[in-house]
Amino acid sequence: MSDFPNQPPRRLRVLAAMSGGVDSAVAAARAAEAGHDVTGVHLALSANPQSFRTGARGCCTVEDSRDARRAADVIGIPFYVWDLAERFREDVVEDFVAEYAAGRTPNPCLRCNEKIKFAALLDRALALGFDAVCTGHYANVATAPDGTRELHRSADAGKDQSYVLGVLDQRQLAHAMFPLGDTRATKDEIRAEAERRGLAVARKPDSHDICFIADGDTQGFLARRLGSQEGPILDEEGAVVGTHEGAYAFTVGQRKGLRLGVPAADGKPRYVLDISPVNNTVTVGPAEALEVTALTAVRPRWCGAPPEGPVRCTAQLRAHGEDVAVTAEADGDTLAVAFDEPVRGVAPGQAVVLYDGTRVIGSATIAATDRTARTPAPTGRTA
């Protein structure tokens, strides 16, 4: 599948978001090579752009801006830097902190794609007369027979990034272009392509983890903003088995770093089962207590028409997670999902993304989970 496959070939005005990394540089080069009128733009998102990345962490620094500019020069396209730092701080960073303070585990990449790259950036691009926004994501956009746009997994499942794009709606998909989505090239082959094109970012390390936490210390980042909030760590019976300096530092399913003072009676490892910001407690227990049979999610975002009635489909619960079979039913602003088999490590704040084969149906934010005994999944039609 490729971008705009069922439309007559035409020269599009394309705004290529260039992070300063190899993927976005190759995507911009491919769009230009396809004959489109491409302009590169680097989003200045850091409140302190003078800082430089540490190893393979971080992004959006002066170094990245310069790398993006050099890549645009080699490709032969105009290049600009747009300052969206304030919008990024409000919509992504502050949302991230607030979600952790509320005992939830957010995914800032989804929020960035929704609020920055395909909202703030796309709105500005359309206002300036561009037809599409191009990024280096590994995903596919196709046009269905009825003319609607569909988001699909990338050709290479190992690099697929459709999970973090599951927040895109029809309007946004209509102007999205992902030139890397239909390639089965390995990352080494993408780097080799960049080298053949003369792009200096060919050997640049990938950024990873959370882009605005350059040192990778999420707990330290949150502590600086939320302060120390000492509280108890409880077992399933309510007995105190340890203390913590802030419930926000934990996520459901976490095993390491619990520093429990009282070992489990059976000697087995314990995991975080629940985080309660109201009374500042963290509850731990055995791995089997993490098993979730159903969830309720809110704020659904549909890539096309919302599903009608219960549908059989698959769900992905984290960026690199496995597909699991589910029955899902939308009801206004909520989504109910029942798992065929129990799953572990599902935390409020995470995104659940639904798929019909390779097609993304939509996504929603997990609000609550059900750990009661499993019941047979209701019968529903396939999405």
Q: Please tell me whether residues 246 and 282 are part of one structural domain.
A: yes
Q: Is residue 213 part of a domain?
A: no
Q: How far is CA 191 from CA 41, 53, 182, 203, in A?
A: 21, 20, 16, 7
Question: Is residue 43 located within the same domain as residue 87?
Answer: yes
283 and 301, same structural domain? Answer: no
Q: Is residue 153 part of a domain?
A: yes
> Which residues are within 8 A (CB) of 160 and not within 5 positions of it... i.e. 6 or more apart?
138, 139, 153, 154
- Residue 155 CA from chain centroid, whole number: 18
Q: Which residue's entry shows tokens 């990338």?
A: 154
A 10 A CB-CB count for 71 gives 31
- Same-domain pairing of 102 and 182: yes
Say whether both 284 and 327 belong to one domain. Answer: no
Task: Using the 3D structure, point to which of 289, 309, 333 is the last residue of a domain.
Answer: 289
- Bridge partners (DSSP) listed for residue 356: 359
The per-residue pLDDT for range 42-76, each reduced to its tens digit, is: 998 876 655 444 444 445 677 889 999 999 999 99
Say whether both 197 and 267 belong to one domain: no
Residue at a domain's end among 273, 289, 305: 289
Amino acid making up residue 231: G
**pLDDT, mean over the chain:** 88
Structure-token pair, residue 290: 């993490």
Cα–Cα distance, 209 to 276 (Å, whole number): 25
Residue 338, pLDDT score: 97
**What pairs with residue 46 in β-bridges?**
none
DSSP-derived letter for residue 208 is B
Check whether residue 319 and residue 281 sit in a common domain: no
192-201, 219-228, 290-299: least confident range: 219-228
Looking at the structure, tell me whether residues 126 and 199 fall in a common domain.
yes
**Structural domain of residue 265, as residue ranges?**
228-289
pLDDT of the residue at 32 = 97
DSSP 40-85: EEEEE--SSTTS--BTTB--SSHHHHHHHHHHHHHHT--EEEEE-H
**CATH code (residue 375):** 2.40.30.10
Per mean pLDDT, which range of 17-31, 119-133, 214-228, 339-353 is the poorest?
214-228
Residues 273 and 169 in one domain: no
Q: Residues 343, 304: contact at Cβ < 8 Å?
A: no
CATH of the domain at 235: 2.30.30.280
Question: Same domain, yes or no, for 182 and 80?
Answer: yes
Establish if 312 belongs to a structural domain: yes
DSSP state, 260?
A: -
Active site residues: 112, 211
Sign of CA dihedral 291, 294, 299, 300: positive
In a domain, 223, yes or no: no
Kindly report whether the global pTM for this prediction surpasses the value 0.95: no
Classify residue 7: in a domain, yes or no: no
338 shares a domain with 257:
no
β strands within 303-380, DSSP E: 311-316, 324-331, 334-343, 351-356, 359-370
| Structural domain count, the chain | 3
Do 276 and 196 have their domain in common? no
Query: d(Cα 259, Cα 280) in Å, to the nearest integer?
Result: 17
Q: Is the pLDDT of residue 2 over 80?
A: no
Q: What is the CATH number of the domain that holds 157?
A: 3.40.50.620
